[in-house]
Structures are given as structure tokens and as C-alpha cells.
Amino acid sequence: MEKKKLLIVDDQNGIRVLLMEVFSSEGYNTFQASNGRLALEIVKAENPDLVLLDMKIPGMDGLEILKHVKAINRDIKVIMMTAYGELDMIKEATDLGAVMHFTKPFDIDEMRIAVNMQLHGGNSNNRFAVGS
């Protein structure tokens, strides 16, 4: 079976590196982009299964990137990340097709479980327990 592809879009290098390490070790084929233009080039070239997308990126914001991703392929799942509790932007992202969102700083284990469930949720042999 082909590895699932995951694109991480965030202007903060530290967050991209952390998420790349976590999801590479989970067995995903990971890509990263620091801006919208690069993110959309990767989406067109690699057709990722899921995009972890920061809401606030200089140049092209997360909502704009989300619209372009969905225009390229409606089936790509998008999880939004935001350092701000902007409920109106989160609602708009959901309306545009984002499957969920995380507020920074997020719990990396919760993010890992959420990604695994989005990408493998249909398999009944996957059991995820969320504990404290």
C-alpha cells in the first residue's frame, strides 16, 4: 500500500520541523511549505491526502490557501492550525471544507491521533485511545 502524503504549511520553521519529524516517524510521506505559493505547487505536484495548514501566513493567508487547495482537489483533507481563537475565521475555514482545527500551542499527541483518524479512520482495525 502506498504511503499517505501529508503537507505541512506553516511560516514558523520550528513547527514545520517538529511536525515533519512526528509524521515521518508515523510512516507518512511528508512535505513542507513556508508560504502559500510553495504549498500550492506541492499540492499540484504531489496531491497530498491531508494538509496541516496554518491560518496566519504572510502573503497568502490560510483561508486563501484552503480555497485554492479545494479548487485543485476537493478530496484533500485540511486541518487548520491557528495561534488565535478567531471563531469567525475558523467557521469560514469549516464552511470552506476544513475537517477540523487546532489552536496553538497544540498537544502533539492529539494532533497525531487526529491525523491518523482522518487518514485511516475508515479502518475498523485501528483503535485510538485518547487519554490524559
Most distant CA pair in the chain, distance: 42
Residues of the chain with pLDDT under 50: 123-132
- All domains in the chain, ordered by first residue: 5-119 (3.40.50.2300)
* Sheet arrangement for strand 29-33: 29-33, 5-9, 50-54, 77-82, 100-103
Predicted local distance difference test score (pLDDT) of residue 34: 97
Predicted local distance difference test score (pLDDT) of residue 132: 34
- Pair 62, 102: CB distance under 8 Å: no
Alpha-carbon distance 88 to 33, whole Å? 25
| Beta strands, E only, the chain | 5-9, 29-33, 50-54, 77-82, 100-103
Q: Is the peptide bond before 58 cis (omega within 30 degrees of 0)?
A: no
Rg (C-alpha) for the chain, rounded Å, is: 14
4 secondary structure, DSSP code: P
Identity at 42, one-letter amino acid code: I
Predicted local distance difference test score (pLDDT) of residue 124: 38
Predicted local distance difference test score (pLDDT) of residue 125: 39
pTM of the predicted protein model: 0.90
Predicted local distance difference test score (pLDDT) of residue 6: 98
C-alpha cell at 59: 502573503
Alpha-carbon distance 89 to 71, whole Å? 19
Predicted local distance difference test score (pLDDT) of residue 122: 56
